[in-house]
Amino acid sequence: MRDEDGTVYKRVFTLSMDPNRERVEIYFKSGILKELYFRKGDSLDGLRQLFYNSGMLSESGNWHNDRRVGEFRYYREDGQLDCVQYYGLLSDGSR
């Protein structure tokens, strides 16, 4: 997809090994990658990474059916790890 001025701001790729899954790349106006994620249908499913406009990694973690799972890492703009959070490790007993 392109902005009115022709700048590419979003690219979507179908994965050959799983045609129901897509890789999505979103870009800042400068052309630097802003976000990279995978989706299955309309749900986040797989790695998702967010970037600062400097190109440095801001956040990284995995998703399954639009839910965070496992380890998520958050970084400061200077590249230093800020914090780590874990999701989906405790069961509510309903399953």
pLDDT of 9 > 80? The answer is: yes
pTM: 0.83
Report the candidate in 31, 29, 68, 30 with the shortest Cα–Cα distance to residue 48: 68
pLDDT at residue number 93: 47
CA-CA distances (angstroms) from residue 59 to 3, 51, 68, 71, 94? 25, 7, 12, 11, 30
Phi and psi, residue 53, nearest 5°: -70, -5
| pLDDT at 17 (0 to 100) | 87
pLDDT tens digits for range 22-64:
999 999 989 999 999 999 988 999 999 999 999 999 999 999 9
